Amino acid sequence: MEEKEISETKTLKLKKKKQFDLSDKRVTPQLQGAALASFKTRSMAFGADWLIIVLASRFFVLWIALILLYLLSKKKLKSSLSKGNTFLLQKVDILDQKLESLEIEENIRKNFIKYIKTYIYGMMILVVVLSLLFTTSLLIGIFFPDDFLKNIIWLEELGMVLNPAEGIEKIFHFFVGAFGGFAYFTFFTWKWNGQTPAKRFFKIKTAKLNGKRITFWNSLERASGYVASASLFFMGFLQYFWDKNHQTTHDKVTETIVIQD
pLDDT digits (tens, 9 = 90+) for 170-197: 666 666 666 778 888 998 999 999 999 9
Residues 95 and 116: beta-carbon distance below 8 Å: yes
Residues 6+ apart with CB under 8 A from 236: 225, 228, 229, 230, 248, 249, 250
Instruction: Report the candidate in 213, 237, 217 with the shortest Cα–Cα distance to residue 226.
Output: 237
Per the DSSP assignment, residues forming a β-bridge with 207 are 257
pTM, two decimal places: 0.62
Q: CA–CA separation, 201 vs 239, rounded Å?
A: 24
Per-residue pLDDT band for 144 (boundaries 50, 70, 90) equals: low
Residues of the domain holding 228: 35-260
Residue 28 lies in a domain: no
Q: Residue 212 half-sphere exposure, CB side, CA atoms within 13 Å? A: 12
- For residue range 61-100, list pLDDT tens digits in order: 667 777 777 777 778 878 888 888 888 888 888 888 888 8
Residue 129 lies in a domain: yes
% the chain with pLDDT above 90? 20
3-state secondary structure of 32: coil
Residue 18 lies in a domain: no
Domain count of the fold of the chain: 1
For the chain, report the end-to-end CA distance as a whole number of angstroms: 61
Q: What is the pLDDT of residue 47?
A: 92
Residue 15 lies in a domain: no
Residue 4 lies in a domain: no
Q: CA–CA separation, 221 vs 164, rounded Å?
A: 35
- For residue range 99-128, list pLDDT tens digits in order: 888 888 888 888 888 888 888 888 778 777
Q: How far is CA 132 from the centre of its chain?
A: 23
Residue 29 lies in a domain: no
Q: CA–CA separation, 246 vs 121, rounded Å?
A: 39
Residue 27 lies in a domain: no
Residue 19 lies in a domain: no
Angle, in degrees to the nearest 10, between helices 106-143 and 153-161: 140
